[in-house]
Amino acid sequence: MMGMKTNLFANEEDIQWDEEWDVVVAGSGFAGSAALCQAIDLGAKTLMIDKMPVLGGNSAINGGAFSIVGSPQQKERGIEDSYELYVKDIFKAGLGLNQRELVEVIAKNGFEAYKFTTERGVFYRNNLGHFGGHSVPRTIWPAINSGGKITLPLQAYAKKNGGTIRTRVILDDLIFDKSGKKVIGIKVRENYKFSYDPMSNEEDNKTGTTKYYKIKGGVIMATGGFAYDVNFRQKVDPKLTPDLDCTNHYGATGYALRMMMKNNIKTRDLGWVQLGPWGSPDEKGFGISPVFAIPAFAYGVMVDARTGKRFVNELADRKIRADAILKIHENPDGSLTHPVVFCDSVGATGTRKENVYRGIHKKVIRKFDTLKELADFYKIPYDGLKKTVDDYNKYVENGKDEEMNKPFFKLRGKTPNISKPPYYAFRAIPKVHHTMGGVVIDTEARVYGKDDKAIEGLFAAGEAVGGPHGASRLGSCAVPDCLVFGRIAAKSAVKLLKQRV
Ligand SMILES: Cc1cc2nc3c(=O)[nH]c(=O)nc-3n(C[C@H](O)[C@H](O)[C@H](O)COP(=O)(O)OP(=O)(O)OC[C@H]3O[C@@H](n4cnc5c(N)ncnc54)[C@H](O)[C@@H]3O)c2cc1C
């Protein structure tokens, strides 16, 4: 029957519960950590589990870029912004496929979520970034540009205030009541040893000891995305072949999502998987290139190495840029020619010196004293490259990019052109980065079944959810999404707990 879930037990009375909790949060990234803090603040006996041996998921390795409307950093710089503009930008990147009410909730509650983190020990630098696809600068960062500087203080706060956190506990299944409409507990394995062969999809090893946790309020699925799941991602988008590199942590698989699908939970947008246009073929995973790419795209150009010509607005949203690269980089014989992104010494000061040094040390970023050296190194026709730079400099002087319509932004009061050597460059390749699809929720973070009815006791937040980002997520919008909906999911679970008791 549509909407019925696969019950593990015929009768609730048959279940030998090992433990009992008010709220269990599965996943310890931004969404899970925010949910845990919120739930304990509301007085619920809360457990957060993660299948991995370390906490934090993608959130802990993330760049910490966090876009909100109304930050002190925006105010100090006199940047005018609005919720409406924020929603409009997210919609434009998402090709209008976004679930509008979820985007509005993120826009309106992002600032509150930011405050929530500062009140729990997170420190943000006085820096404001302008990410591709955003109409105005609205991105802030915690210390050392790392999402770990958000998750760790939240987890420390939670532990200090009565929250329980366990690693190496994998959520294997949901346990429903007899009606199949209410989640009353979960099946987990403790002492689970993560091992995953992306080619065979063999995450479901048999390690660990099975336990059953009874849950009085709700289960919060903060289990993240599935970009690292080579098999599953190719099933939902055949273009995503195994040779494409991925920026995620190894645990970003579809295991939790597949479990929910097996339980007839409704999903959306699974085929929309985002490629980050700022990866480099000269390093594995996320690496250093995306950090350097921020100033390089803003204050420099990306050229096709075969011609030296630009081929896309370097500040367009991620999907436009990644699609443009994939369209041009393959040669007729199947080999790849990677585009080259570069800026001059002034543009490079748009990121910290250490980032540039690190990139040079890893041989991902290259430094050149002349444009000719840059052209020769990457085998770019010099005349084509020189013309591109001369044209670009004219556009900067006139304040209008006549070729690609890239918006120009100032750095310390002036828009940098490309004229002051040394030049800094990297080769670009798109890498699988974010999965827009996931389970369907409403503005209270309640998860829906295939019968279009909310499932009592089941909530979800963060990258596990589909809807907020439509076809493509704008950079720095995942942090607010996860924190906002993590908190909402916890509030909803505690509200239900009070109704049920
Ligand atoms: C390298 C990188 C840099 C990024 N930089 C930015 C940025 O600067 N700004 C921005 O907005 N976004 C950024 N993103 C995207 C953003 O980090 C993610 O979308 C976000 O971290 C997702 O958070 P989450 O809490 O939903 O999931 P995650 O942080 O991925 O956490 C999910 C957790 O759930 C656990 N889990 C999964 N299944 C189970 C199960 N069955 N049982 C128990 N545990 C389970 C996983 O092990 C994982 O720890 C970046 C992503 C990457 C990969």
- List, as one string, the DSSP characters of 371-399: HHHHHHHHT--HHHHHHHHHHHHHHHHHT
Listed residues 415, 431, 447: the one ending a domain: 431
CA distance 45 to 101: 30
CA distance 70 to 83: 9
Residue 7 lies in a domain: no
Q: Which atom of ligand 1 is nearest to the CA of 464?
A: 26
Tell me which of 59, 481, 487 to substitute to probe ligand 1's pocket, judged by most ligand atoms within 8 Å of the beta carbon. 59
What is the 66 CA–ligand 1 centroid distance (Å)? 14
The average pLDDT across 212-218 equals 97
Task: Specify the pLDDT at position 197.
Answer: 74
Q: Which atom of ligand 1 is nearest to the CA of 223?
A: 34
Per-residue pLDDT for 25 more than 70? yes
Whose alpha carbon is nearest atom 12 of ligand 1?
478
Tell me which of 165, 170, 223 to substitute to probe ligand 1's pocket, judged by most ligand atoms within 8 Å of the beta carbon. 223
What is the 57 CA–ligand 1 centroid distance (Å)? 5
Summarised one tens digit per residue, pLDDT across range 340-365 is: 999 999 999 999 899 999 999 999 99
> Which residue is catalytic, options 120, 189, 233, 318?
318
- Percentage of the chain exceeding pLDDT 70: 96
Number of independent structural domains in the chain:
2
Summarised one tens digit per residue, pLDDT across range 390-435 is: 999 999 999 999 999 999 988 989 999 999 999 999 999 999 999 9
Per-residue pLDDT for 193 more than 60? yes
Domain at 57, CATH number: 3.50.50.60
Per-residue pLDDT for 199 more than 70? no
What is the 84 CA–ligand 1 centroid distance (Å)? 27
* 21 compared with 239, residue with greater pLDDT: 21
Whose alpha carbon is nearest atom 51 of ligand 1?
62
Per-residue pLDDT for 10 more than 80? no
What is the 226 CA–ligand 1 centroid distance (Å)? 9
Residue 205 pLDDT level (bands cut at 50, 70, 90): confident
What is the 297 CA–ligand 1 centroid distance (Å)? 25
In terms of domains, do 191 and 221 share one?
yes
Residue 1 lies in a domain: no
Who lines ligand 1 at CB under 6 A?
26-32, 49-52, 57-59, 61-65, 147, 170-171, 222-224, 247-248, 251-252, 255-256, 286, 434, 462-464, 476-479, 482
In terms of domains, do 20 and 97 share one?
yes
Residue 171 lies in a domain: yes
According to DSSP, residue 472 is labeled: S
Contact 31, 118 (CB under 8 A): no
Residue 201 pLDDT level (bands cut at 50, 70, 90): low
Q: Which atom of ligand 1 is nearest to the CA of 480?
A: 11
What is the 473 CA–ligand 1 centroid distance (Å)? 14
In terms of domains, do 349 and 471 share one?
no
Domain at 348, CATH number: 3.90.700.10
In terms of domains, do 200 and 312 share one?
no
Residue 3 lies in a domain: no
In terms of domains, do 138 and 267 share one?
yes
Summarised one tens digit per residue, pLDDT across range 248-265 is: 999 999 999 999 999 999
CA distance 283 to 265: 38
Task: Specify the pLDDT at position 8.
Answer: 62
Tell me which of 36, 62, 190, 488 to substitute to probe ligand 1's pocket, judged by most ligand atoms within 8 Å of the beta carbon. 62
Task: Specify the pLDDT at position 3.
Answer: 39
Residue 147 lies in a domain: yes
* 81 compared with 8, residue with greater pLDDT: 81
Per-residue pLDDT for 2 more than 80? no
In terms of domains, do 174 and 139 share one?
yes
In terms of domains, do 75 and 202 share one?
yes
For residue 55, give the 3-state DSSP assignment: coil
In terms of domains, do 171 and 259 share one?
yes
**Rama region for 218: left / alpha / beta (φ>0; ψ in -120 to 50; rest):** beta
In terms of domains, do 260 and 388 share one?
no
What is the 478 CA–ligand 1 centroid distance (Å)? 9
Q: Which atom of ligand 1 is nearest to the CA of 60?
A: 29
In terms of domains, do 131 and 24 share one?
yes
Residue 246 lies in a domain: yes
In terms of domains, do 355 and 450 share one?
no
Residue 5 lies in a domain: no
Q: Which atom of ligand 1 is nearest to the CA of 486?
A: 25
The average pLDDT across 109-126 equals 97
Listed residues 431, 459, 488: the one ending a domain: 431
Whose alpha carbon is nearest atom 53 of ligand 1?
248
Residue 4 pLDDT level (bands cut at 50, 70, 90): very low
What is the 243 CA–ligand 1 centroid distance (Å)? 22
What is the 61 CA–ligand 1 centroid distance (Å)? 8
Listed residues 431, 457, 483: the one ending a domain: 431
Task: Specify the pLDDT at position 206.
Answer: 82
Q: What is the mean pLDDT of the chain?
A: 94
CA distance 328 to 325: 5
Token pair listed for 395: 């556009």
Residue 6 lies in a domain: no
Per-residue pLDDT for 299 more than 60? yes
Residue 1 pLDDT level (bands cut at 50, 70, 90): very low
Q: Which atom of ligand 1 is nearest to the CA of 224?
A: 27
CB burial of 22-61 (b: ≥16 within 10 Å; e: otherwise) equals: bbbbbbbbbbbbbbbbbbbbbebbbbbbbbbeebbbbbbb
Strands 309-310 and 301-304: antiparallel
Residue 145 pLDDT level (bands cut at 50, 70, 90): confident
Contact 120, 37 (CB under 8 A): yes
Between the ranges 44-58, 236-250, 404-418, where is the mean pLDDT highest? 44-58
Our answer to whether residue 318 is catalytic in this structure is yes
Task: Specify the pLDDT at position 14.
Answer: 77
Token pair listed for 16: 């030998």
Task: Specify the pLDDT at position 189.
Answer: 96
In terms of domains, do 263 and 284 share one?
no
Report the run of H or E that residue 276 belongs to, with start and end: strand 273-279
Q: Which atom of ligand 1 is nearest to the CA of 249?
A: 53
Whose alpha carbon is nearest atom 15 of ligand 1?
478
Residue 380 pLDDT level (bands cut at 50, 70, 90): very high
Domain that holds residue 394: 276-431
